[in-house]
Structure 1
Amino acid sequence: MATKYIIPAVLGSFAIAYVCDQLIADKKIFGGTTPSTVSNKEWWEETDKKFQAWPRTAGPPVVMNPISRQNFIVKAGSES
């Protein structure tokens, strides 16, 4: 019964959010410009090359979940 109100409300909120995003971010109703570092594809490529060229000075790779790498001994039955 309440879904006839909830679904249109959710869809309406998405529509309002989309319109606000278009007006503020793309149409720039509050002024401003998009920085060239965001809009320039060549800048992105050069930045990526720079990051890939940096020497790796950190230690060896770290296991993100060391618990899953441990060997657990599973005992049959309960030993209380």
Structure 2
Amino acid sequence: MIRVMLEHAKKHPGLIPQFFFILLGMGGASFYLFRLAKGPHLRHESNPEPWNNLSPSYQYKFVAINTDYKNLKKEGPDF
């Protein structure tokens, strides 16, 4: 496949950017799938419930529009 792309690039140099971006997209997609295939980031062997260690003021969302996480009080019991 790479050999065919190189032959076409020699005949038509305008295709070089297209081949570059196609390979860049395929490489990025492969990297993303490999990263997803590594599994969850939480380790459950030592702590079966790691979400209980987070404080109530921990900001779970990337953007909190209407919520001020600093003034939240913990409403649930400790397990």
When normalised by structure 1's length, the TM-score is 0.37
Greater relative contact order (Cα < 8 A, sep 6+): 2
- Specify the structure having the higher radius of gyration (Cα): 1
When normalised by structure 2's length, the TM-score is 0.38
